Amino acid sequence: MSHPVVRVALGVALLASPAAAIDPAIQVTVLTQEGQAVGAVGNVSSVANLAVNEAGSWIVEVDTDNANTNIDSVLIKNGVVLLQEGQLLPLPAGAGINTFDAVTLNDNDNSSWNFFLENTTGSSDDSGVYFNTTLLFQEGDFSTASGFSAGTTFRGFFETKLNDSDDTLLICSVDDPNISSTVDQALMLVTSSGVQTVLVKEGDSIPGVVGPLVTTFSSSPHNFDLNDAGDWIANLDTDDVTSSDGFILLNGAVFEREGNPAPVAGRLWSSLSGAELSINNEGDVVHSGSMDGDSASNTIIALNGAKYRQEGDTLPGLSGFTFTSFGSGPILVADRGAPSDFADVLWFGDWNDSDTTIDTGLFLDEKLLLQEGVDQIGGVTIEDVRGIQDGYAMSDDGRYIVAELNLVGSLDTAVLLDLGPWEKLGNGLAATTAPKLRAFGQLAGNTPTTVRLTNGVPNGTANLIIGLSQANVPLLGGTLVPNPDVIVFGLPIDADGTLEFTATWPAGVPAGTKVTMQYWNDDVGAPFSYSASNAVVGTSQ
């Protein structure tokens, strides 16, 4: 569709002022808040675990002020109570939910989790792994998993992960008669058809590594992960010497090992114990870890084996400050969208501002999404962005983020961030730099849209190409993705290599109209004097 009025409206609308505060193009919705009534259960007293999927469906675990502490916690799904402590389950007969553990939600709108149970025979059978409310197996049951000895029984469960094949990855404790200890840990996959398979267990050797045997697994929610292709990643310890006993395994092979070179020249991994891990559906891996040497720069986030962020780093938009830590929250990597595109990473950062009321925030790559002491939710300032174990979660495609915040007055609050229905298309052309383009906004008439270029040539200029169709033709050594219906020349890139502005999406763009954008940057380091960002496409609502 190439109506001239639409082309002109888009071109004018996208010449606007820079964005500020919480990006107005990001739709922020309060999901639940301290003091809010939860049906007949009570009023919310605190927020705990969170999950969200690609449809924007969400789950939040909350405690309430119900005087009966045996029934005061609930899981809220899309505003409705899904499950409550004390609620009876189909199996085992007569048993109910005592407490919740992991919270998962896949794109089929299904969940898997470990429930601690009440009204069982005792402490030897008071937990179970469930798919939604269907019992898969219970503490005390015999395991049918290949990889265990006959007669192996389950002794307990830690966290679970669920992919879109409805397969569950979990860390469990068992009693395998052929392992000398009475409680033995294992990482196990359970398919949607109920087939149990041991992936790694206590006493196993590490493929390709002579000597050390597996002893324990890091068992917090973000110490292991599973993607839709069935790829898995896990953090574990062995009986090797402490300087080299920790491993990260990817599909059973060594991905990283303590004592091996870290992705910073001259430094080694000193600790991978408890590393936060994430793997996306294209197989990109992000994780945390500690290096030897200077303690002010020893914590690092690595993406696909390369440095992504490090203590002591600076970031555009936070001029003059350096990062001092990355909290204890998850580090999550979204799908690329196009194989040739970049993977967005969601992470928490703490920097060295002398004003400690404004020195933490939640980031998507280089974009500061939420900052304590600065940003507001419903007119109330964020007092604390929770950079903790279950402080935030992200849908696989990176569109939706749920986050736990404390607002001024210590109001525990869960919010949903909708970044908008934009897709990345790849086809960037790197030269002096490798420019990255992201767009945010709902693509409805008279709503904000943000266009953000990062990693551009510092103090250079960029030319924004907007098309109502895609050309996908060779140009200057790269690929021109949009049909050049609108070209905005000479936009200034700042000294950090960033160009960001927010505009109003024009009214009158017919619903279903696809708008594609790409930057072509003046770049003397390129063979034809231009580098290009990836392209993005959005569909007007």
Q: pLDDT by residue (tens digit) across 506-541?
A: 998 899 999 999 999 999 999 999 999 999 999 999
**Predicted pLDDT at 10:** 55
Helices assigned H by DSSP within 368-482: none
Residue 452 corresponds to which tokens in the numbers above? 């953000």
Query: In this predicted model, what pLDDT tens digit does every residue of 425-435 receive, in sequence order?
Result: 999 999 999 99
The helix (H) or strand (E) run that includes residue 4 is: helix 4-13
Pairing of strands 345-351, 332-333: antiparallel
pLDDT for res 192: 84
- Position 13 scores a pLDDT of 54
Dist. CA 163–CA 229, nearest whole Å: 8
Contact 91, 129 (CB under 8 A): no
* Residue 83 structure tokens: 């499950």
Q: Which of 387, 396, 390, 388 is nearest to 359 (CA)?
A: 387
pLDDT the model gives residue 146: 85
Taking the chain, what is the end-to-end CA distance rounded to the nearest angstrom?
15
For residue 2, pLDDT beyond 90: no
**pLDDT average, residue stretch 287-297:** 97
Phi, psi dihedral angles at 80 (to 5 degrees): -120, 140
pLDDT of residue 19 exceeding 50, the answer is no
400-407/392-394 β-pairing: antiparallel
Residue 311 burial by CB count (10 A; 0-12/13-18/19+): exposed, middle or buried?
buried
| pLDDT average, residue stretch 492-513 | 93
Sign of the torsion formed by the C-alpha atoms of 211, 216, 222 and 225: positive
Nearest residue to 250 via CA among 289, 290, 206? 206
> Are the C-beta atoms of residues 309 and 349 closer than 8 Å to each other?
yes
| Domain extent listing, the chain | 4-22+422-539
pLDDT score recorded for residue 8 = 44
The least confident of 18-27, 36-45, 134-143, 320-329 is 18-27
Pair 78, 58: CB distance under 8 Å: yes
pLDDT of residue 316: 85
**Encoding tokens for residue 3?**
């109506």
95 in Cβ contact with 140 (< 8 Å): no
Q: Are 29 and 57 in contact (CB under 8 A)?
A: no
Integer Cα distance of 43 and 412 in angstroms: 12
Residue type for position 135? L
* Average pLDDT for the chain: 94
| Res. 5: pLDDT tops 60 | no
What are the phi and psi torsion angles at 94 (to 5°)? 85, -5
Q: Quote the tokens at residue 511.
A: 């619903």
Helix (H) or strand (E) holding 399: none
Tell me how far apart the alpha carbons of residues 53 and 44 are, in angstroms, rounded to a whole number: 23
Distant-in-sequence, close-in-space partners of 294: CB < 8 Å, separation ≥ 6:
none
Determine how β-strand 214-217 pairs with β-strand 232-238.
Answer: antiparallel
Task: Flag the least confident range among 171-185, 241-255, 472-486.
Answer: 171-185
- Beta pairing partners, 288: 301
Cα 64 off chain centre by: 27
11 band by pLDDT with thresholds 50, 70 and 90: low
Tell the burial category of 459 from Cβ atoms under 10 Å away from its Cβ (0-12, 13-18, 19+): exposed
Higher-confidence position of 47 and 18: 47
* Cβ neighbours around 334 below 10 Å, total: 27
Does domain 4-22+422-539 correspond to CATH entry 3.40.1350? no
pLDDT digits (tens, 9 = 90+) for 219-269: 999 999 999 999 999 999 999 999 999 999 999 999 999 999 999 999 999
Whole-angstrom distance, CA of residue 110 vs CA of residue 129: 14
Whether the upstream peptide bond of residue 18 has omega within 30° of 0, thus cis, is no
